[in-house]
Amino acid sequence: MSAATVRDTHAFVEQLGRLGLEKDSEKRLALLRGVADLYLTHPVSPTVAEEYLFSEIATSVMRKLQPDQRPQVSAALSESERVPHSLAMALASDADIAVASPILSRSPVLTETDIVAIAETSGDEHLQAIATRPSLTARVTDVLIDRGSNVVLRTVSGNIGAEISEKGMMNLLTRASDDAEIGLALADRGDLSPAVLDQLNTIICAQVAAGSAEGDAGDGIAALRARAQALIAEELRKRKANISSTDRVIAAVEAGTMSLDSGVGTLVSGGRLLDVAQVMAHFLRFDRNFVFQQLAAGDINTVVLTFRALDIAYANLETTLVLRASKRRGARETVSRADYEAVSQADAQRAIRFLKVRMTAGKSTPAAAGNAA
């Protein structure tokens, strides 16, 4: 350990001690921010002892802060991977939603199992925060859909990074019968099967007919239902056409009359992220929905490995990342050509095979899968 690292460690421990003894609320907050900055930005990963001390003292000090101060700390810690797990869980489970929300919606420390446990025991405000996470597994959305209000279901339906199981989708369709906004949010998704779109179309048609028969539906509700119906009808038409053309791309690649890179390029240039996922999943022997979730909202490293494993050109990766950002309505993530091409195809294929083995093992042992998420 270098002399500088030793000095930083001593400074960290010294500030922790001062933090534990400070009585003034404002000074406590300032000290906690300083300690948190030192802990989170230190170039060397914290030791087990430092992690324990930080978690214990920060948790204790959080209880003593003023109500308007506590959310500030939670927000500052929400996006760091270094936050001790016990502290992240304490903040995520806090009864004050202003404290819990930043961690529930953004923290990378929480595992799938953590989120499910919180979702199964928390109120609707906490479920609403969870529903906004950039990526949600089907195991989590099943709980949100089972326990959440229509507000939660609208958020889940409109979250492109939320994986929805067949059971969850059926439950959403049931709830959409009584809430046109859920149907409208679902209609905006790009991953619905023609069968689901058919059911949505039937639901919205029934709502339009019921509103006309009652004669007292407000103009806003009628317009919302009409828009949903139009969206669903158009999406159903496009999906059926896209499925047919995607099947032709796969057949052409397998016949050797089209390169996989060319097929993916055609699809991604048309903004067809779901169909890109369908083609890539076919050649990777992966589930389409899993590949779509990765392309739409998954870890960017997994996206890079997927493209490299199939020897897809860098230009198509770039276009996919632009499309991904537009669908997520967030900042675009970038990967340089040099970094992309530095990953060998063989290494990427090994990583994908490992991921496939891990997923297969996870399905046979659900508890293990939850802990690994």
Model pLDDT for residues 48-78, shown as the tens digit of each residue: 777 777 777 777 777 777 888 889 889 988 9
d(CA 266, CA 271) in angstroms, rounded, equals 9
Given pLDDT bands bounded at 50, 70 and 90, which one contains residue 371? Answer: very low
Least confident of 33-47, 153-167, 193-207: 33-47
- Name 136's bridge partners: 162
The amino acid sitting at 32 is: L
Can you give the pTM of this predicted structure?
0.65
What is the tens place of the pLDDT at every residue in 251-260?
A: 999 999 999 9
**Longest C-alpha distance within the chain, in Å?**
80
How high is the pLDDT of residue 50?
A: 73
23: its two tokens = 């009585």
Quote the distance between the C-alpha of residue 253 and its chain's center: 31
Judge whether 129 and 104 are in contact, CB under 8 Å: yes
Given pLDDT bands bounded at 50, 70 and 90, which one contains residue 1? Answer: very low
Residues, the chain = 373
Q: Look at 270 and 58; give whichever has higher pLDDT.
A: 270
How high is the pLDDT of residue 28?
A: 61
- Name 162's bridge partners: 136
Residues 119-142 have a mean pLDDT of: 94
What is the tens place of the pLDDT at every residue in 200-237?
A: 778 777 766 665 555 545 566 666 666 666 666 666 66
Average pLDDT for the chain = 80
Judge whether 258 and 252 are in contact, CB under 8 Å: yes
How high is the pLDDT of residue 2?
A: 40
How many degrees, rounded to 5, is the angle at CA 299 between CA 320 and CA 312? 40
